[in-house]
Amino acid sequence: MTNLFRSFLVSVVVGLLASLPALQADDSQPPVTERFAQKNVDEVPSFQRHVVPMLGRLGCNGRACHGSFQGRGGFRLSLFGYDFQADHTSLLDKESPRIDLENVTESLVLVKPTDEDNHEGGKRYDAAGWEYKVLENWIAAGAPFDQENMDKLVTLEVSPSEILFKGRGDKSQLQVVAVWEDGSREDVTPLCRFSSNDDLIADIDRDGLIVAGGAGDTHVVVSYDRAVMPVAVLQPVSKRVGKKYPRVATPTRVDELVVEKLRKLGIVPSDLSTDEQFLRRLRLDLTGTLPTPAEIESFLADNSPRKRARKIDELLQTPAYAAWWTQKLCDFTGNNDQQLNNVTPVRGRASQEWFDWIYKRVEENVPYDQLVSGIVTASSRPAGMSYREYCEMMSDIYRPGSDKSFADLESLPHYWARRDFRQPAERAISFAYAFMGVRIQCAQCHKHPFDQWSKQDFAEFSRFFGGVVASSQPSREGRDEYEKIVKDLGLQGMKGNQLRKELPALLKQGKTIPFPEVYTTTPRMPRDGSTRPTEQVSSARLLGEEEIQWQKGEDIRQPLMEWLERDDNKYFARAFVNRAWASYFHVGIVDPPDDMSLANPPSNQALLDYLAEEFIAHKFDMKWLHREIANSRTYQLGWQTNETNRLDQRNFSHAVPRRLPAEVAYDAMVQATASDEQIAELQESNRDRSIAMAVSSQRTLQRSTGVGYAMMVFGRSTRESSCDCDRSDDPTLLQTVYLQNDRDLHALLDRRGDGWLDQLARKYKIRQGNQASRLPPRPANYDERVKQLKQQVTRLREAGNAEQAERIARTLAGYKKRFAEPARTADVESSLAFATEEIVSQAFLRTLSRYPSDEELRRSVEYVNAEENKINGVRGLVWALLNTKEFIVNH
């Protein structure tokens, strides 16, 4: 065969292959609008393919019509029309039939919608229209439907798959082809439901015609049968597209993918942030902590081109990083102290144990999938351990002074022991939120309006969660050991709260006590109309995927976890990388981050795919993900905008200022007003840090730490569900009032012993405020007493007695405040000149993480020097800086 002839054959084959899509499209069955346009049509429509989608398009099965739970006019359809059997039964209901098989044209489903006066919903179609003919032919054929042999939709082919408009008023018509499992193809455009995620950018009518509005980007959504398909619609915001787009640096793959989208929109990213801005932003995002003045000065003095990358690596090793990202994991896994009251014999311990267990794994950079596996497949006892051995192990952990830790256990059974996490449906909803970023609760009652999930999908997925038991008593094989332990303790006959009240005291005596247990058993699910799980099941279906069978004694959660870890899983890795991205930016790639439905597609699909695929390739290494995001130029852009990106809120062309999360905001106030010594302690330890507080309820926070009100005001996650919406970052008037007038804030400014103003007062021998002169003299054993109290607090915390430790800590704080140093030096003249300019600069570094401008420095120095008591002047300056927008937002 000659080379020439070989080349000819190759060109022919390539040409044929290239023409296949077009040939397939030509083979598609024409739309029903054409096929049923004439009266003498013999075709029998399909109930699934044609009748039900048409009723949906007409609005018959919508919430405002027959799709409501009450129905309308004595006739009810399933919401959005995806319970085909129920709809078919309802149409043929003998009590109130909508179909007359004997007198087809007398069928109410034909008569009422064509009569505007007779139909409460108004006229829906003409008697001469294709809609009428579809229904008439179907009824005339006997209204056929076979539930056992329903057609399976493989995919929807929507063209164009992406639309790039040039200006307002431009139009584009969608064409939708359904591809079925039997190989048939049909143009179903007239049977689809169309919607726009932002009709100001792209409006779409019932026939799939898109009309361009303002510049920007959004998606239109096509729904047919169980399929939901988004189509990207873009209109450039400027003329800087194509060859007119400027050269933009893209040093990382993240940057390449972000700029690829910006180039289509004519959006030019902002310049890089300054070193001060970058350091503050990174510190707050990665560690939930303000940078220290010394850290800022050192970073600014470093001229190395790699200093930003080195700082990222440095912060990933800090205890604050582990604490802050543990807090985030506790948010969406549901660590709620109010739901864990009876999980442990010592009340108040469970929430802290949950936090400590995750903290240990974040600190050690355990792969994310392994961390989650320890939660999802958690049981109280490792395989082969008897109930008595389990109780001895747990009693050793809880005894005062023990060096053993709950965090060292293999798994986290507390996840399954929450009071609001007992029924399979509750567990399925929370699990999907936490580990898949999916809101499936709508499918509990009807077809999900924005996704593919049906009521049947929800029911089958829920079966994975029916075999986990959280009980105060052990499984059957451990009952005898349980009874013997109770008898040996002299507690036989006691149950419930009466028994629990006796156990803490026995622990302190060194006794082995019975512990609650989480274990698996034969799965049971509620029968229809019941809430009690009574019916045994032996299979479950992964959400939208294959069915899993199991044998008696197998842990049904194991195949569920294996599915999450699979490379082809569409949710697990994406959910985490999207949440991480949202933590670094003002929005997620999918936003809200826990709503990864088909109708809520990513703003940058390629970017989300890249991060998820590489996260899996790097063995779910969380620190890799942090480095990948933080080292990108995209993350390091400044917040100042240009004419092309000033309105961009979803394409990451600039940093968007966002209010500090509650824990971070309060810790920032504490650090800004702390002495240099106290700041150093805060950097080295998580002790007394809000970002390391395990409890979530305001009442518990107020009782144990006194900062509950601040946490409530600034929107700390309530963890009442696994929804990301349990945390609020919205600015409110209460937050402004708190920063201006709350007594807790003023107490931070005026604190004695470990406050910055107190430090300055001692250094310059200036009375701090008006109360200093009334303070009593310091006792001779003051230093020794402070040391003893500190040691006592440390011992109590290490022993797990948090409540008593906090009481002693408050005693220590009160003691130090009572005998503050300025009382003894208030009337002594200082020979040290008050360094106003230096102090003003330090105030700015402490609060805004930057030096003051020349004008800010001049005005601040003038203000401080104008005060008779310069400490009061500095106090006023710090108060003013804490009340700036620049302080309370991350920019």
User: What pLDDT is recorded for position 527?
Assistant: 57
User: What pLDDT is recorded for position 533?
Assistant: 54
Look up residue 583 and give its DSSP letter: H
The single-letter code of the amino acid at 871 is I
For residue 805, is pLDDT > 80? no
Closest C-alpha among 341, 248, 163, 303 to residue 645: 248
The arithmetic mean of pLDDT across residues 247-270, rounded, is 97
Look up residue 829 and give its DSSP letter: P
Look up residue 524 and give its DSSP letter: E
pLDDT in tens, 586-610: 999 999 998 888 889 999 999 999 9
What kind and span of H or E run contains 519? Answer: strand 517-520
Over pLDDT 90: what percentage of the chain?
53
For residue 3, is pLDDT > 50? no
Distance CA 393, CA 398 (A): 9
Distance CA 780, CA 376 (A): 57
Backbone angles phi, psi at 53, to 5 degrees: -60, -35
**Of 238-247, 402-411, 662-671, 812-821, the least confident:** 812-821
- Residues 6 or more apart from 414 whose CB is under 8 A from it? 335, 340, 343, 350, 353, 354, 357
**Of 8-22, 51-65, 103-117, the least confident:** 8-22
User: What pLDDT is recorded for position 73?
Assistant: 61
Q: Using a CB cutoff of 8 Å and minimum separation of 24, what contacts does 40-45 make?
A: 41/133, 41/137, 42/137, 43/137, 44/137, 44/138, 44/141, 44/144, 45/134, 45/135, 45/137, 45/138
Distance CA 151, CA 179 (A): 10
The arithmetic mean of pLDDT across residues 93-101, rounded, is 81
pLDDT in tens, 850-870: 999 999 999 999 999 999 899
Distance CA 177, CA 679 (A): 64
DSSP string, 162-229: EEE--STT-EEE-EEEEEETTS-EEE-GGG-EEEES-TTTEEE-TTSEEEE-SSEEEEEEEEETTEEE
- Three-point CA angle 324, 295, 328, nearest 5°: 5
User: What pLDDT is recorded for position 837?
Assistant: 96
User: What pLDDT is recorded for position 532?
Assistant: 55
Look up residue 287 and give its DSSP letter: I
The arithmetic mean of pLDDT across residues 93-111, rounded, is 83
pLDDT in tens, 553-583: 788 899 999 999 999 999 999 999 999 999 9
Confidence of residue 792 (pLDDT cuts 50, 70, 90): confident
For residue 502, is pLDDT > 50? yes
For residue 646, is pLDDT > 90? yes
Confidence of residue 840 (pLDDT cuts 50, 70, 90): very high
Per the listing, tokens 């800090």 go with 318
User: What pLDDT is recorded for position 823?
Assistant: 38
Q: Is 655 helix (H, G, I), strand (E, B) or coil?
A: coil
Q: Is 110 helix (H, G, I), strand (E, B) or coil?
A: helix
Helix axes 854-866, 836-847, angle to 10 degrees: 120
Residue 318 and residue 350 in contact, taking contact as beta carbons nearer than 8 Å:
no
Distance CA 483, CA 486 (A): 5
Q: What is the mean pLDDT of the chain?
A: 86
**Of 82-96, 170-184, 864-878, the least confident:** 82-96
Residue 773 and residue 826 in contact, taking contact as beta carbons nearer than 8 Å:
yes
Look up residue 440 and give its DSSP letter: -
Closest C-alpha among 442, 453, 440, 360 to residue 407: 360
The arithmetic mean of pLDDT across residues 241-252, rounded, is 95
Closest C-alpha among 814, 831, 850, 826 to residue 773: 826
**Of 361-365, 475-479, 622-626, the least confident:** 475-479
Q: What's CA 12's distance to the chain center, in Å?
A: 52
pLDDT in tens, 512-533: 999 999 998 876 666 554 455 5
- Residues 6 or more apart from 120 whose CB is under 8 A from it? 72, 73
- Residues 6 or more apart from 294 whose CB is under 8 A from it? none
Distance CA 889, CA 639 (A): 12
pLDDT in tens, 200-211: 999 999 999 999
User: What pLDDT is recorded for position 247?
Assistant: 95
